[in-house]
Each structure stands twice: as structure tokens, then as C-alpha cells.
Amino acid sequence: MVSRPERARQHVRRYLDEQAVSPPERGAFPAPLDTLRASVVIPAYDERETLGTVIEALRGASSTPECFEVIIVVNQPSDAPAAIDQANREALEMLSALETPFPLHVIDRCTEGQAFPPDEAGVGRARRLGMDLALARLQEAGAAVEGIIPCLDADSPAEEGYIDDVLETFATGPEEMLAGVCRYRHPIPDVDEHARAIAAYESWMRYFEAGLHLTRTPYAFQSIGSCMVLSAQGYALADGVPPRPALSDFYLLQKIIKAGGRGAVQTMEAPMVYPSARTSERVPRGTGPSVQSILDHEVERYIHVEPPATFEQLRAWFAAIRPGFEDPERIRDAASDALMAFLDQWDSWETIASLREHAPDAAHFERSFHEWFDSLKIVRFANMLRRRGDTVPLVDAVRRVLEDLGRSSRAKAIPRDASPPFEAEHLLEVLEVLRESELEWSQAASRDDDTME
């Protein structure tokens, strides 16, 4: 019988042999230290100023800096504007002059002849290039089993002890853990309009995560690129980062769950990462463009949000899946009218019947079901309700989900005198409650997971 460590090595070897991208620079870098256990990957695009802050923060990431290295992929499309080209060249110059207590490797994908083709460029492509190299170096250092690949962004510093904390979490975490998600805080700007925008956006993110925990889906975690940490084995099992211009983190973590099952992605108590709250148009989706849209157009997307009924209906339906293995009518009976309308868009009932037919028992059926009804389907169901006009003011939605999660004391702290479009001070109050609650629902969910085994 193959041991767990040997299986991990096999997964890493398979991915490196069959799918990984090996940049020409690999042979030019010094061989990894035998002590290497973490290879941090940072894609950088037009981030000359903030990149220095992120690297400076990493100086305090570990009491033993020889246990980690940093790989930075400075990237752009070959047709990038002159200002972007200049900023990236300045970043390369800055990096070449740095002296760090940890090995620092730079991949140039921005100068002439090195930049990505326009139709291939983007953060997903850059992150994959860096992570594939990180995996190869971990294997070379003999760390295919215990090695990890932390992901940061060039505008998102981590707190002191970042590497020590994630290594400790993976060393002591549950056996099924293949990836972790760091806690996060967007810095709150001094300008009221900007503070209101980031408070609305982050509150919505946390509201949606709380709703996911309510449903008991295995995908109940944040998908933020700068907060991901993957084990070498987990990265290989997920077949690497999808080379997408946006949402590559979302799809990567979804693949981790499908490869490893419930509990494969864990929310970590430490460390903390501080994603930038700045506006940006560098990517089509994410914090930057979302905050910009709120400021520019007073977008209601994060003021009137998906109704709590989204998660309440999914919770009832998901609860019927395991017992539905023996009594399939329970699955149909538990689906709300809105959910039935959503499922009727595909051959959903035929798919569910097929999954049940091929499952040896209820536990396998439930896992197969969640591999099919994944986080993308949850988002699509929520979007359907939004398009129908079934939205709820953010503050009211947060209060109700907290009550549904059994956090009545937290729900009482949500201001009741607030009404749309909401003042910055009210949104900041809501955000603080959600930040204080973040570990409560994830820890409660972990305990529930234990009782489901």
C-alpha cells in the first residue's frame, strides 16, 4: 500500500512532468537551500511603490529566513501602455538592487521579448508561472511532502511572522488540509467616500462567506489571491492555477475542494494579510474595480445584496442530500420554487440521479453532489435571485444571516437606524462586527464537519 507521503510525491512528480511550465530562468537561479519549506509567489504589474512595502514586511516573516524564498513575476502584455512599461522596468531595477535575508528570485515578463502575448497576459498566467517554479524548487529541495506555496500580491503585505504562522498551521492542521486561506483586513482610507466604498465591499464579501457557512457547503471560505497558501501536493492535485485574467484564485480553490473533499481548504487563524483598498482597473474583477465602480457610479451592487433566502434555501436543500441517497424524493421535496427554476436550466435531476446511482453509499453521493453543485453554481443561483429583484439592504441581510448562524449577540450589534444608501459610519460598524465574527462561524462549521464524518 502506498504511504501518504509517497502519494504526495507522486502527485507532485506527475504535475511537474505533465503540466507545469518551466521558465528558462529556472536554470539561472541558485539551487534551493536544503532548508527550503515555503516558496512565496508574488505577481507584480505596475506596482513599483507597493512592491517594496510587501518585501519589507517579509523581512519579519520568519525567525529562520532560510526556510523560505520569494519568487516575483513582473509581468505585462507586450502591448502595455508606456507608463506601465516604465513602472515595471523601475520595479525590476529596484528588485535587482535589493538585499534580503531570504533568497529573492525575479522572473521578467515585462521587457521587450519577455512580455506575455496580449491574449495570454493576466494575473492568472503570472501566478501560474511563479507557482509552477515554486513547486519545482520545493521538490528539488526534498520538500514535496511538507512544502507550501504562499501567495501574496504586490500591494498586499502580510503581518510579522507570516511564514512561521503558515508553516505551523500546515504542520499541525487536519490531515485532509491541502490549502489554507489567511484572514484579511483591507486598510480603511481616511476619505469618507473611499472608506464607505471599501466598507461596503468587504462587508458584502464577509456577508457572502457567512451565508456559505450557513449552507454547509464545503466551499465556505474567501477566494482572495493574496490570502491563499497551498501545499505542494494540493497545488499539484488541482492541476495548477487556471491561467485566467481574473478569478483564477476562485477556480483554483474550488478545484482543491473537488480534489480533496470537505476540509481540504481551511480558514487559518493566523496570519493576517492586508489587501490593498486602492481603486484599480488592472483586472476586470476584484477589490480595485469594485471599489472604483462604487465611487464612480454609486453602484448599488454592494448596498442591496443577495437575499439571505439564497443561503437558507440552499441550506435546506443541501441537508436533504445525504438522506436522499436512500429516499431520493426528499431531495426534490427540499428544493424551493426558486431553486427548482434554477435547476431546470440544466439536466439537473438527471445528473443527480446519475450521481446517486454510481455512488456506493450516502457519503460518496454527498461528496459527488458537491463536486457538481460547486461554488460557481451557488454564485449563479444568488445572481438569479438578484436579477429577479430579490435583493435586501446589506445591513438587514447581515443581521439576518448572523441570526441564522446562531450569533444573536453579534446581530444585535448591527445598527438598526441605518437605511440605504448607508453612511460610512454605519457600514464601518457592520464591517467591524463581521470582522470580529469571522472565526466564530468557521470554527463552528469545522465542529459540524467533525460530526458529519
Span 438-451, average pLDDT: 66
Max CA pair span of the chain: 67
pLDDT at 99 over 80: yes
Span 325-334, average pLDDT: 97
pLDDT at 404 over 80: yes
Concatenate the DSSP letters of all residues of 127-144 into one string.
HHHHHHHHHHHHHHTT-T
d(CA 235, CA 178): 8
- Number of helices followed by number of strands (H, E) in the chain: 18, 9
Q: What is the pLDDT of residue 445?
A: 58
Q: What is the pLDDT of residue 232?
A: 98
Q: What is the pLDDT of residue 286?
A: 55
Concatenate the DSSP letters of all residues of 235-247 into one string.
HHHTTS----SS-
Q: What is the pLDDT of residue 435?
A: 95
pLDDT at 444 over 80: no
Q: What is the pLDDT of residue 280?
A: 56
Bridge partners (DSSP) listed for residue 179: 230, 265
Q: What is the pLDDT of residue 193?
A: 82
Q: What is the pLDDT of residue 421?
A: 84
pLDDT at 452 over 60: no
d(CA 79, CA 280): 19
Name, in order, each residue with C-beta under 8 angstroms of 97's C-beta and a sequence gap of 6 or more.
none
Q: What is the pLDDT of residue 268?
A: 96
pLDDT in tens, 166-208: 999 999 999 999 999 999 999 998 877 888 888 999 999 999 9
d(CA 106, CA 90): 13
Positive or negative CA dihedral for 422, 426, 427, 430?
negative
Span 208-225, average pLDDT: 96
pLDDT at 134 over 50: yes
pLDDT at 248 over 70: yes
Span 311-324, average pLDDT: 98
pLDDT at 265 over 60: yes
Q: Please name the amino acid found at residue 118.
A: P
Helices (H), 320-423: 329-334, 337-343, 348-358, 362-372, 375-387, 394-404, 408-412
> Phi/psi of residue 266, each to 5°?
-115, 140
Q: What is the pLDDT of residue 287?
A: 58
Q: Give the pLDDT band (50/70/90) at residue 296.
A: low
Q: Is the peptide bond before 23 cis (omega within 30 degrees of 0)?
A: no
Q: What is the pLDDT of residue 252?
A: 97
pLDDT at 453 over 50: no
SS3 state at 190: coil
Q: What is the pLDDT of residue 171?
A: 96
- Poorest-confidence range of 129-143, 155-169, 413-427? 413-427
Q: Of 399, 384, 404, whose CA–CA distance to 311 is shortest?
A: 404
Torsion of CA 15, 20, 22, 23, to 10 degrees: -150
Question: Which grid coordinates are listed for 210?
Answer: 457567512
Provide the pairing of β-strand 228-231 with 148-150: antiparallel
pLDDT in tens, 266-280: 999 999 999 987 655
Q: What is the pLDDT of residue 451?
A: 47
Q: Mean pLDDT across the chain, nearest whole number?
A: 92
Q: What is the pLDDT of residue 276?
A: 84
Name, in order, each residue with C-beta under 8 angstroms of 159's C-beta and a sequence gap of 6 or more.
57, 271, 272, 273, 274
Q: What is the pTM of this model?
A: 0.93
Span 334-357, average pLDDT: 96
Q: What is the pLDDT of residue 16?
A: 96
pLDDT in tens, 48-88: 889 999 999 999 999 999 999 999 999 999 999 999 999 99
Q: Of 255, 235, 233, whose CA–CA distance to 8 is shortest?
A: 233
Write out the H or E segment, with its range, that includes residue 104: strand 104-109
Q: What is the pLDDT of residue 443?
A: 67
Residues 428-448 as b or e (16 or more Cβ within 10 Å = b): bbbbebbeebbebbbeebeee
d(CA 154, CA 151): 10
At the topology level of CATH, where does 4-297 sit? Spore Coat Polysaccharide Biosynthesis Protein SpsA; Chain A (3.90.550)
Span 36-54, average pLDDT: 95
pLDDT at 219 over 90: yes
SS3 state at 181: strand
List the end-to-end C-alpha distance of the chain, in Å, as a whole number: 24
Span 360-378, average pLDDT: 98
d(CA 38, CA 35): 9
Q: What is the pLDDT of residue 291?
A: 58
Count the neighbouring beta carbons within 10 Å of the beta carbon of residue 83: 9
